[in-house]
Amino acid sequence: MRRIAPGDLSISKSTPADSSAGSTGAAATTPISEGAGDPNCPTCCGAGFYVRDVHYGHPDFGQLIPCHCKDDEMQRLRSQKLLKISNIEPFRDKTFESFDRNIPGVVRAFSRAVEFARNPRGWLIFYGNYGCGKTHLAAAIANEVLKMNSEVLFTVVPDLLDHLRSTFGPNSEVDYDERFDQVRRAKLLVLDDLGTENATPWAREKLYQIINHRYNYALPTVITSNREPKEIDPRIRSRMEDVSLCPEQIMIEAADYRRLTVEQRSGTRKRKAEGRAGPTGSRNW
C-alpha cells in the first residue's frame, strides 16, 4: 500500500489555453478531495485515499481507494442522498413513536406496519377513511427504513402523476423515462392516497404500468387508499388481491383523529401515560 499526500490528488486537465501556450508546457490541475481524510490517519495521512501496492494488471493497480477514515463522512453523504431521493421530508415527524396507538381501531395496522418496516417484503395495503392514520403509518415505515440506510421512495399518487406530466414540459430538468424508472424500480415504494388521482385514461395507464412492474418483480410496496377496493381499477385491484404477494389488506376503522376535540386528544394521551404507569402512579421501568 502506498500513501498519498493530499497535494498528490490532482488531475491534469488540458484546456484550449494550454494548447495555445504549448511552448510553456503548463497544464491546469484540479484538486480532488484535498484534505478530505483525517490528517492524523496513518494510512492516508489526510488524503482520504490510498493506492494499493499491487502489480501491473491487477484490478486495483493505479486505483484511488477510499480510506477507512472517511467511513463516517461517506455514511453521512449516503444518508443525505437517500433522504433527498426518498421524498419523505414533509413527513419526517410521522414516526412510530409519534403515532397514537390508543385510538380505537389502529392496533392491528400499527403492529403490521412495524413488522413490515423491520423486514420489507411483499406488499402492505391500508384502507380507511380520511384521518384514520394510513398516511402516518406509511410514512413511519419509510422513516424507519431510512434509519437503516436503505432506499425508499414516498409519493402521494396525485402528486406523482403531476410530476410525470411535468416532465413533458420544455423546461423540465428531469427526463420522463428517468423519473418513471425511479418510481417503478425503487427498492421500497410507498404510494399514498391511491384512488384520489384524476382518473384519466393516461393516469390509469401510468399507475397500472408502475404497479404491474412491481407486481411482476415482487418489489416491496406500501399502498394507502380511502377508496373501497371495488372502486379501484380492476387491473390494479387484481394485483393487490394476490395473497401470495399481499396476504393481508388492512382496513383501519378509526375515526378521523384530526377532528377529535382537544379534550378527546388529551384523553388518549392520558390513557397512554396511565398504561405506562404503575398502580401508585409511578412509572414502570
pLDDT tens, position by position, 219-267? 999 999 999 888 999 999 999 999 999 998 999 988 776 665 444 555 5
pLDDT value, residue 103: 86
H helical segments located in 119-200: 134-147, 157-166, 176-185
pLDDT value, residue 221: 98
Specify if 275 maps to a domain. no
Specify if 121 maps to a domain. yes
Residues 116 and 231 in one domain: yes
Residues 165 and 48 in one domain: no
Other beta carbons less than 10 A from residue 244's beta carbon: 7
To 10 degrees, what angle do helices 176-185 and 201-216 make? 50
The better pLDDT of the pair 52, 279 is held by: 52
Res. 106 pLDDT band, cuts 50 70 90: very high
Q: Residues 117, 239: contact at Cβ < 8 Å?
A: no
Specify if 278 maps to a domain. no
**Rg of the chain taking only CA atoms, in angstroms:** 26
Q: Are strands 249-252 and 123-128 parallel, antiparallel or unpaired?
A: parallel
Specify if 251 maps to a domain. yes
pLDDT value, residue 267: 52
Residues 249 and 150 in one domain: yes
**Strands of the 189-192 sheet, one edge to the other:** 153-156, 189-192, 221-225, 123-128, 249-252
Domain of 134 in residue numbering reads as: 80-259
Residues 172 and 135 in one domain: yes
Residues 122 and 220 in one domain: yes
pLDDT tens, position by position, 24-37? 333 333 333 444 67
CATH number of the domain encompassing residue 133: 3.40.50.300
Residues 37 and 145 in one domain: no
CA distance 83 to 76: 11
Residues 12 and 125 in one domain: no
Specify if 267 maps to a domain. no
Specify if 229 maps to a domain. yes
Cβ burial of 8 (10 Å; 0-12, 13-18, 19+) is middle
Residues 253 and 117 in one domain: yes
DSSP 51-72: E----TTSTTTT--EE-GGGHH
pLDDT value, residue 1: 54
pLDDT value, residue 125: 98
Mean per-residue pLDDT over the chain, rounded: 79
pLDDT value, residue 70: 67
Question: Of the candidates 38, 68, 98, which is a domain's last residue?
Answer: 68
The better pLDDT of the pair 169, 129 is held by: 129
pLDDT value, residue 259: 61
Mean pLDDT computed over 144-157: 94
Residues 202 and 129 in one domain: yes
Domain count, the chain: 2
pLDDT value, residue 57: 85
Highest mean pLDDT: which range of 15-24, 162-171, 211-220, 250-259: 211-220
Cβ burial of 160 (10 Å; 0-12, 13-18, 19+) is buried
% of the chain surpassing 90 pLDDT: 45
Kindly state the helix (H) or strand (E) to which residue 128 belongs, with its residue range: strand 123-128
- Decide if pLDDT at 74 tops 70: no
Residues 87 and 219 in one domain: yes
The better pLDDT of the pair 113, 36 is held by: 113
CA distance 164 to 179: 7
pLDDT value, residue 36: 67
Residues 98 and 64 in one domain: no
Specify if 180 maps to a domain. yes
pLDDT tens, position by position, 35-53? 467 788 888 888 887 888 8
Residues 92 and 173 in one domain: yes
Specify if 271 maps to a domain. no
pLDDT value, residue 10: 40
pTM: 0.68
